[in-house]
Amino acid sequence: MNKVRDRLRKKLEQMKLDKIPKFEKWDELPKELKLECVNKLDFKTRWFLRGTSRKERSLIDSQRFDFEKICLSNGSMITATYLDSDKKGHEFKTCSYEYQQLDHLLPLLAYMLRRCNIREFRINETHPLNQEELDKFNKLVPIGTAHIKNLFADEYNETALYFLRKCWKQVDEVHIFAYGNQNYFKDLMTVPAFDHALVFKTADPASPGVHVRHFLPMIENWIVNNAPVGKKLVAEDINPKTKNSFLLKFKNRVIYQGNIDVGYVIRLSTNHPYKHILAGFVQLHNDVFYCTVVDSETELSDYDSYLC
């Protein structure tokens, strides 16, 4: 009797297996299975598959790829790092065949910015984009569509400003080295992504002794437009003697000023009763100006934690 049961069970299992569809070609796979496969692909394979047909391009574009870091350097090289499903790190690198010609990389870079999530986008030693490159890139990546969380620029120039304009509004941090260009802040103030960034860090090692007046419009904007708690400015290579300009500008809003362990601190009121602005001139490895939006209940004993 047991043998009969075993034969019957095996026959039923085989009948079930025979009903399972068998696929011999990629095109025969249903979309759901293709997506499962795509999610297991490394970036290079995914990019090549995207170029095989419009159908596959649409499939690839429907799944955003996550990059840990993308670095654009020398105007002709892209280096990207990402984690696979097992959290193992990988690197993808490509460069233009013509030195300092970005044209060859535009489709790839546009795909990365438009269809991928980028935790950190870094711009190193780039040459200014020419008008032909700008026209091509503008069609591929409209303003405000790049999902970049943190943007770093080793030098402020038109290229850095250009890519900042491409960022969406959910930027966490922007880091820019000025290198003597102290008028750059006016340009940044016109960019929506910069206005929405929670943290802005800058330094000017080429021209130490930067005047605090360059940052006063940003702080005034925080006061008037109800900036969120935690919004922060960190400016290195500042001239500490220019704090008098800061005090003069906001003299009617000063709640507290004085020296604490880390440096000279100034607390300002805002148009919102539950928010204050805490500013500090701090001496570290160089002179640093900190400014951050804090809760109005913040105690004097907590100031140090905000100015570091």
Blockwise average pLDDT, block size 10, the chain, 308 residues: 59 55 76 87 91 92 94 83 88 68 76 95 77 80 94 88 92 89 81 93 85 91 93 92 92 93 92 94 87 93 83
Tell me, yes or no, whether 271 lies in a domain. yes
Tell me, yes or no, whether 287 lies in a domain. yes
Tell me, yes or no, whether 273 lies in a domain. yes
Q: Whole-model pTM?
A: 0.85
Tell me, yes or no, whether 305 lies in a domain. yes
Tell me, yes or no, whether 74 lies in a domain. no
Tell me, yes or no, whether 251 lies in a domain. yes
Tell me, yes or no, whether 70 lies in a domain. no
Q: What is the pLDDT of residue 73?
A: 84
What's the domain range around 281? 230-308
Tokens 């790049």 label which residue?
Answer: 146
Domain count, the chain: 1
Q: What is the pLDDT of residue 99?
A: 44
Q: Which residues contact 157 (CB under 8 A, 6 or more apart)?
A: 126, 128, 181
Tell me, yes or no, whether 103 lies in a domain. no
Tokens 């996550």 label which residue?
Answer: 66
| The pair of three-digit structure tokens given for residue 142, joined into one six-digit string | 């409209």
Neighbours of 103 (CB within 10 A): 15
3-state SS of 148-195 is: EEEEEECCCCHHHHHHHHHECCCCCEEEEECCCCCCHHHHHCCCHHHH
Contact present, 173 and 150 (Cβ < 8 Å): yes
Q: What is the pLDDT of residue 57?
A: 93
Q: What is the pLDDT of residue 107?
A: 87
Q: What is the pLDDT of residue 219?
A: 94
CA distance 152 to 137: 20
Contact present, 285 and 242 (Cβ < 8 Å): no
Q: What is the pLDDT of residue 100?
A: 47
